[in-house]
Chains A and B, each alone.
Chain A
Amino acid sequence: MSKYTEDDLREELKTKEYEYGFYTDIESETFPVGLNEEIVIAISKKKEEPEWMTQWRLEAFKVWKEMTEPDWANVNYDKPDFQAISYYSAPNSKPKYDSIDEVDPELLATFEKLGISLDEQKKLAGVAMDVVVDSVSVATTFKETLGEKGIIFMSISEAIKEHPELVKKYLGTVVPQKDNFYAALNSAVFSDGSFCYIPKGVRCPMELSTYFRINQAGTGQFERTLVIADEGSYVSYLEGCTAPSRDENQLHAAVVELIALDDAEIKYSTVQNWFPGNAEGKGGVFNFVTKRGLCEKNAKISWTQVETGSAVTWKYPSCVLKGDNSVGEFYSIAVTNNYQQADTGTKMIHLGKNTKSTIISKGISAGKSQNSYRGLVQINARAENARNFSQCDSLLMGNECGAHTFPYIEAKNKSAMIEHEATTSKIGEDQIFYCNQRGIDTEKAIALIVNGFSKEVLNKLPMEFAVEAQKLLEISLEGSVG
């Protein structure tokens, strides 16, 4: 056997380099695992982005490399290996199933309960659809209506190409690239997302959801949303879907930026129902989201959140109340069952005078789950007559789950009025007895009580969504009756 010499090694390294190299084939549909500058550049190229965007991503990547993953949240999970993830895969155009009969019946049963139309069911489950004409025409009608008003609503990749001036002006102004670990990661590798611009004084005639739900294909795991409401405009935006999505992506790190200019109002509602893992706590999605809105003078941002999915959720939709008389609202229901963990809440940063914020957070824990509320209310020295009201209620079902509250309140102005209250309780046996006595079975009784408990938040959702969300709560808590 010949001796292994330095020359051999050199030779080997050379071949190796040739084999894998540092060159990434941007034509391929899925990128190799791992993350480096090449990958970031390749993503940008793949999306045909202009040079400034590539630079912007690289800046974010540079910052991200220096950062460490935060671990202050009250959740336990195995940290994802960021070098073991493929950062780009084109939306799968090939249908997963040929007919609806092949789809997991459990999934279909859930669709059934949610009352989702057959076509939509097919679309959501990834079944090939033969008649798409219908939805396309609906989408086109929507697009026309929006176009007449001058509303821009498109994917962010399109917006980067078609409206670079708007994107350049606002992207990263509310959530800067270096804001936090996941925001930096998202800024470097975001795959796609939505962009929405409402011109001055325009009231968006429809919930931007309907359109969304029909048109949205797989957005990938690093979603970037940018909503800009120009002076005096109004928009209600709905994200997510009540339908359970069986996404195999383990890690989701989205960034949502809202900008409400003077007198504008944005209502942003989210329903999140990603795969929470099975009853033993195996699998499930990690959902680490950065959502933040900026309010200029007299503007208003309202966040409504219904969270029932994901194995680990880490989400704090926030409002920066920069302008005088601006208003921030946060309404949230977080339901955790089995081994789910949620650490959610909000931040209300009062900078302007006469700013107001309201926080209503309802946490429902069942099974072996842990549900935490973590919020910050900050009144800065110049925020005169700032007003905040926070209420965090937790409902515990069974004695193996936990409910936690971590509110941070910082006041630096004497005219501030802040109220915070939190309660923890369980569903009373007397309440269930009362329902049983009137012929309502225990499962239905629980659903009824939970609905009453979360009513304040459900009321804030757009109509048709509220109905679905209500059913969703029921389904999420199924089988948790102790």
Chain B
Amino acid sequence: MELKEKLVSSFMAFEDTVDVHSTIHDIRTEAIKSFEAEGFPTKKLEDWKYTSLNSVLKHDYSVFPKNENALEFKDIKKYFIHEIDSYKIIFVDGKYSSHLSQTTHDGLDVCLMSAALTKPKYKVIIDNYFNKIASKDGLTSLNTAFSQEGAYINIPKNKVVEKPIQIIHFSTGNEAALMLQPRNLIVVNENAHVQIIERHQSLTDHPVLTNSVTEIFTNKRAIVDYYKIQNDQQSASLIDNTYVNQKQESLAKVHTFSFGGKLTRNNLNFYQNGERIDSTMKGITIIGNKQHVDHNTLVHHIEPNCESHQDYKGIFDGNATGVFNGKVVVEKLAQKTNAFQANNNILISDKATINTKPQLEIFADDVKCSHGCTIGQLDESAMFYLRSRGIPEKEARALLMFAFSNNVLDSVKIPEIKNRITKIIAKKLGVNIGFNL
């Protein structure tokens, strides 16, 4: 594979440009070796049975963008949740943009991975957390090998972060084709609470491939609320690898909203290393055209008395393909586990496809585990009810779809995000409902 060779050979050049202490160097070298051995995943792998990367990998991506491109805030304002005050970490073509960002070191660290990897004062954290839960598969290894830039967030004990943190990656189309590999590390200490919003946005129709890795550590009783908004151009593809390591009594919630992009693959992995942990994964997927969205989730119940909730809704139109591959593993020790998994889908078009594979692997007996999955259409009698009350077909359909995805929307804690998502959905469905749902 051409891209693979290009990446492997450009690793040498990359190593020259970064000056880091030896442990990171070792991790990177190890990672590139593992990428060389593993390569990009193919459909032969069980986890990639329904998603082929071939169409995405054929472009000649530039790995290190040369020119910097300045963006004006007013041009890109619409991609922010700008109604609320927030910390912002903004990247343009993979480079940090200081004038668009708002970082802090005051009581908490919201800053850059490049700084964290090089400055001695972060060494302890990096040694303890960096690359500790990321898996060794090809794509994650590739990211690890080239890990340099991204967000670094460290919330100290008992700190409730008063405003959300937005991480946005813009690509400007300066290069014919661009490959980005952001690497984020988020450490949330005891009793701390943080809300994070992540978005990847391409501003032109040049192909962009983002291979992102995020490691999240939630310590005792910490709360993390994470929102991923994926509403990119038809030319952009995203492979998102998120690893969450939870300690006792912590709560981690990840909402994924997938509305756009050529190919989106979300690898979401939760590891419960403590008792009484709650992990929640929710998602709404509404796509059409030739879009492809693949949700691949894993919840690993290692200790007793924990819970996990998964709820994914999908609406597929046009030639879209939706994949849900959810896995719940309950270890022998993890008695009294409650694990729920739901995946509901609606097919609008005859050319759309849904492949779903909700899996349970259970080794403990005193557990409550269930999964449910449905594929169907909008309820005709409900449709008739709305139509008989004078609501036009398109609006009636949209209302039913809102109702379908409502319990995911309902659990969004930031009202501005909820509004934004509602608007995006309304736009996707081509309706103006004129009121807030």
Residues of A within 8 A of B (CB): 72, 379, 381, 394, 396-426
Q: Is the CB of A411 within 8 A of B373?
A: no
Interface residues of A, dominant DSSP: strand
Contact of A424 among B349, B357, B367 (CB under 8 A): B367
Q: How many residues of B contact A (CB 8 A)?
A: 36
Cβ contact within 8 Å between B372 and A421: yes
Specify which chain A residues have a CB less than 8 angstroms from the CB of B123 in the assembled complex: none
Nearest-neighbour CB distance to chain A for B346, whole angstroms, equals: 8
Tell me, in angstroms, the Cα distance from A425 to B365 when the chains sit together.
Answer: 7
Instruction: Assess A410 versus B363: contact at CB under 8 Å? Given A399-B332, A418-B374, A421-B370.
Output: no
The answer for the CA separation of A375 and B332 in the assembled complex, in Å, is 24
A415 CA / B368 CA spacing, docked (Å): 32
**Cβ–Cβ contact A407 & B350, under 8 A:** no
With a cutoff of 8 Å between Cβ atoms, the chain A residues found around residue B50 in the complex are: 410
Closest to B49 in A: A408
Contacts of B351 in A (CB 8 A): 381
Q: List 24 A-B contacts (CB under 8 A).
A: A379-B375, A394-B362, A399-B364, A400-B332, A403-B362, A404-B361, A407-B373, A408-B357, A409-B357, A410-B50, A410-B356, A411-B355, A414-B347, A414-B350, A416-B376, A418-B373, A418-B376, A419-B372, A420-B374, A422-B360, A422-B371, A423-B369, A424-B367, A425-B367
User: Hey, which chain B residues are within 8 Å of A407, CB to CB?
Assistant: 357-359, 373
CB-based contact A401/B360 at 8 Å: no
Whether B354 pairs with A411 at a CB distance below 8 angstroms is yes
Give the complex CA separation of A398 and B367 in angstroms. 12
Nearest Cβ in chain B — how far from A46, in angstroms? 40
Q: Which residues of chain B are near A415, meaning CB under 8 Å? A: 377
- B348 adjacent to chain A (CB < 8 Å): yes
Which residues does chain A contribute within 8 Å of B348, judged by CB atoms? 414
Q: Which of B206-256 contact A (CB under 8 A)?
A: none
Extra inter-chain contacts (15) besides given A403-B362, A407-B358, A417-B377, CB under 8 Å = A381-B350, A396-B367, A399-B363, A402-B363, A405-B359, A409-B356, A409-B357, A410-B50, A411-B353, A417-B375, A419-B376, A420-B358, A420-B373, A422-B360, A424-B370
Which residues of A lie under 8 Å from residue B353 when comparing CB positions?
Answer: 410-412
Q: Is B366 an interface residue (CB 8 A)?
A: yes
Give every chain A residue within 8 A of B369 (Cβ-Cβ): 423-424
Nearest CB in chain A: distance from B172 CB, A: 38
Q: Is B352 an interface residue (CB 8 A)?
A: yes
B335 proximal to A (CB < 8 A): yes
B410, CB-defined interface residue at 8 Å:
no
Interface centre among B348, B354, B358, B375, by most chain A C-beta atoms within 10 angstroms, is B375
Taking CB atoms, residues of chain B closer than 8 Å to A396 are 362, 364-365, 367
Pick from A404, A405, A416: contact of B375, CB under 8 Å: A416
Question: Out of B358, B366, B377, which one reaches A399, CB within 8 Å?
Answer: B366
Q: Nearest Cβ distance between residue B26 and chain A, in whole angstroms?
A: 34
Q: Which residues of B contact A424 (CB under 8 A)?
A: 360, 362, 367-370
B46 within 8 A of A: yes
Q: Which residues of B contact A416 (CB under 8 A)?
A: 347, 375-376
The answer to whether A404 and B362 have CB atoms under 8 Å apart is yes
Closest to A379 in B: B375
One of B355, B365, B373, B375 near A426 (C-beta < 8 A): B365
B 269-287 to A, binary, CB cutoff 8 A, 1 in contact else 0: 0000000000000000000
Q: How far is the CB of A389 from chain B (nearest CB, A)?
A: 10
Residues of the B chain whose Cβ atoms lie less than 8 Å from the Cβ of A402: 361-363
Residue of A nearest to B354 (CB): A411
A399: chain B residues within 8 A (beta carbon): 332, 335, 363-366
A409 to B354, CA, bound (A): 8
A406 B357 Cβ-Cβ under 8 A: yes
Which 4 pairs from chain A and chain B are nearest by CB? A396-B365, A414-B347, A418-B375, A405-B360
Q: Please, which residue of chain A has its CB at the minimum distance from the CB of B348?
A: A414
Nearest-CB residue, chain B, relative to A398 = B365
* Cβ contact within 8 Å between B371 and A421: yes
Q: Which residues of A sit under 8 angstroms from B373, Cβ to Cβ?
A: 407, 409, 418-421
Chain A residue with minimal CB distance to B341? A422
Task: Knowing A399-B335, A411-B375, say if A406 contacts B365 (CB, 8 Å).
Answer: no
Q: Which residues of A contact B368 (CB under 8 A)?
A: 424-425
The residue from A398, A405, A414, A420 contacting B352, defined by CB atoms under 8 A apart: A414
**Candidates A72, A401, A426; contact of B366 at CB < 8 Å:** A426
Give A409 to B314 CA distance when docked, in angstroms.
Answer: 14
Chain A residue contacts of B359, Cβ below 8 A? 404-407
Report how far A419 CA is from B376 CA in the complex, Å: 8
Contact A409 B372 (CB under 8 A): no
Most buried by B among A407, A412, A414, A423: A414
Which residues from B are CB-within-8-Å of A394?
A: 360, 362
Complex: A404 Cα to B47 Cα, angstroms: 17
- Verify A409–B355 contact, CB threshold 8 A: yes
Contacts of A398 in B (CB 8 A): 365
Of chain A, the residue at the smallest CB distance from B329 is A404
Q: In the complex, what distance in Å separates the CA atom of A275 from the CA atom of B406? A: 52
Q: Is the CB of B355 within 8 A of A408?
A: yes
Q: How far is the CA of A423 from the CA of B369 in the complex (A)?
A: 6
